[in-house]
Amino acid sequence: MSNIVMVFSPHPDDAEIFAGGTLAKMIQEGVQAYIVIVTDGRVGSFEYDSQSLVSIRSEEARQAARVLGAEPPIFLNHPDMELDLLPPGLLREQFIRLIRQYKPDIVIAQDAFINYEVHPDHRAVVWAVSDAVNSATLPLVHPEHLYEGLQTHFVKEKYFYTEQIDKSDKIVDITQTISLKLAALAEHKSQMKFLLEDILVQVHAAGIDAKAIAGDVLNDPAAAVGWALQIQAAQAGLKINAQFGEAFRYIRFHPFIEGLIKA
């Protein structure tokens, strides 16, 4: 098992939502985990003002990381919903720097090649991560890092998470760690409430009787989000005959190198 995993999370809760079970499993197996939170989450609420929300969500992220057993989060503190306004290449440089500094054996991030991603922050992060893991090995890409004492680094394993299970080629069995995933998510109290409220806006617009489908679970935002995620995890788990799973597109080496390994 590799020693260090780094997760690139556009918002304070994304790591837990999409890869919390996998992250908890890796940590239990002895991996040191770092969660890089790119934005400050300042717009994800129907209740708080932005200034209050930044403080609330950063503390919630710290608590969630503790539940998983991860290191304290690395906050880049870019304004939520404004990553597309950053100077071109800034995120890529920051991600390359972090990869060279922490030298992760594994990187977990959203898949840059999934369809229908509607959030601009997610789109910005996924492409910057894809670029970073493929260029952190090149000494002439940001050579100033080398002058500062950082060395190039190759990430051995890439786990790109996706909700499109049919596009995945690796399902991680999280049956034993889904409880930790849900417990960590529950620490994101402000975001769980916001996610439920946002979903219910669409449910009501669709004319669906949410109470008839989900029952009293809707009275508890964390439980409601957890209920939905367990359904998704069960669907992923079916592919490997497990109760619960998380889906990824998994990459180690260039296809040519993989061919030599299997030869």
Q: How confident is the model at residue 2 (pLDDT cuts 50, 70, 90)?
A: low
Higher-confidence position of 202 and 181: 181
pLDDT at 197: 87
CA-wise closest residue to 177 among 105, 107, 109, 233? 233
**Cβ-based neighbour number of residue 130 at 10 Å:** 20
Q: How confident is the model at residue 35 (pLDDT cuts 50, 70, 90)?
A: very high
Whole-angstrom CA distances from 44 to 29, 49, 162 are 33, 10, 22
177-189 per-position pLDDT tens digit: 999 999 999 999 9
Percent of the chain predicted with pLDDT > 70: 99
The CB-based long-range contact list for 201-208 (8 Å cut-off, 24+ gap) reads none
Q: How confident is the model at residue 48 (pLDDT cuts 50, 70, 90)?
A: confident
228-261 per-position pLDDT tens digit: 999 999 999 999 999 999 999 999 988 888 888 8
Q: In the block, which residue shows the tokens 């790109």?
A: 160
pLDDT at 157: 97
| Three-state secondary-structure class, residue 122 | helix
Rounded to 5°, the CA angle 101-103-109 comes to: 100
* Euclidean distance between CA atoms 174 and 253, whole angstroms: 25
Q: How confident is the model at residue 40 (pLDDT cuts 50, 70, 90)?
A: very high
* Predicted confidence (pLDDT) at residue 1 exceeds the cutoff of 60: no
Return all residues near 99 (Cβ < 8 A) that are at least 6 apart: 6, 107, 132, 133, 136, 153, 155
Whole-angstrom CA distances from 25 to 35, 70, 156, 172 are 15, 11, 18, 9
Average pLDDT over residues 185-198: 92
What domains appear along the chain, each with residue ranges and CATH number? 4-262 (3.40.50.10320)
Cα maximum dimension of the chain:
62
Average pLDDT over residues 143-151: 97
Q: What is the pTM of this model?
A: 0.94
pLDDT at 258: 83
pLDDT at 200: 85
Q: How confident is the model at residue 211 (pLDDT cuts 50, 70, 90)?
A: confident
> Residues 191, 12: contact at Cβ < 8 Å?
yes
